[in-house]
Amino acid sequence: MRPAASLLVVLALAAGARGQDVKRDIPYSDPAHERQVLDVYSPRGAKDLPVVFWIHGGGWQAGDKSDVQIKPRVFTDKGFVFVSTNYRLLPAVDMGTIVRDVAKAFRWVHDHAAGFGGDPKRVFVMGHSAGAQLAALICTDDRYLKAEGLSLDVVKGCVPVDGDTYDVPAIIEVAETRWRAHGLPPAKFGHREKFGNDPAKHKDFSAVTHVAKGKGIPPFLILHVAEHPDVAAQARRLGNVLGDAGVPVAEFAARETTHARINADLGGPDDPATKALFEFLDKALKR
């Protein structure tokens, strides 16, 4: 192996031919609700590998940990342990409960990663859509991990994918202005209602609110659809706030794609967002 080869190439060669072990529906709480479970995919014989902690989307009211497309195979082939978590959903629980579920799942991963060949000191938090908001929030608002006895320092990096709610008040204002301007009926269960219909809660569930220097916030890669104005604006907003706080941050705007496709294509061999993702991971692993 030439010295110039990336760390991810080394990890991939080490893991690629070993196959994959999968453990499904592992409870991360005791007692556990039926949705407080996660799946772990690891290369066979894995040891001390970096971990991806994935949070599914679905508007906080739908979706499942099985909605991971090609990601588990791609990440395990590249020498990662891949964990996909469920969480309880709206309207059965409120948003705060959802975030606490995700933090509790992360704590389980931190505590048990070594048993699946993972390194608890090298965990990346990622998520798509609603999962992007949850990923960004637990990586900036340290209260959730602190409640689980952890700090932001245990997160190696954060990759929110095509989220529109890093600044919840902003997306509410944009959406409701659009409805008024075009004479459209408001959503029956829109962002305002989902986040508690209280301006203080809207701000509190926004990752941008909690970004500050000296908190140990991990490096960010913000992936989004280039042609969608809402996610592009939210990505820029989060990126600017992180940058102003001195947090390493990169943004990648994927072109000629959609909200669903950017997620489905992530991991594909010719996917530009995937290239940006693995460049980010390679750089973060060298820190």
Instruction: Evaluate whether 220 touches 204 at the Cβ level (below 8 Å).
Output: no
Identify the pLDDT of residue 13.
Answer: 45
Do 144 and 134 meet the contact criterion of CB atoms below 8 Å apart? Answer: no
d(CA 140, CA 216): 9
pLDDT score of 7: 53
For the chain (287 residues), the mean pLDDT of every run of 10, in chain order, is: 44 56 98 98 97 98 98 98 98 98 98 98 98 98 98 98 98 97 95 96 98 97 98 98 98 98 97 98 95
pLDDT tens digits along 139-163: 999 999 999 999 999 999 999 999 9
pLDDT at site 8: 54
Taking the complete model, does pTM exceed 0.95, yes or no?
Answer: no
User: Is 106 within 8 Å of 148 (Cβ atoms)?
Assistant: yes
| Cβ neighbour number for residue 232 with a 10 Å cutoff | 17
pLDDT of 287 reads 86
**From CA 224, how far away is CA 231, in angstroms rounded?**
6
pLDDT of residue 188: 92
- Please state the domain extents for the chain: 7-167+206-285
Nearest to 130 by CA among 205, 79, 186: 205
| pLDDT given for residue 274 in this prediction | 98
Domain at 7-167+206-285: CATH architecture: 3-Layer(aba) Sandwich (3.40)
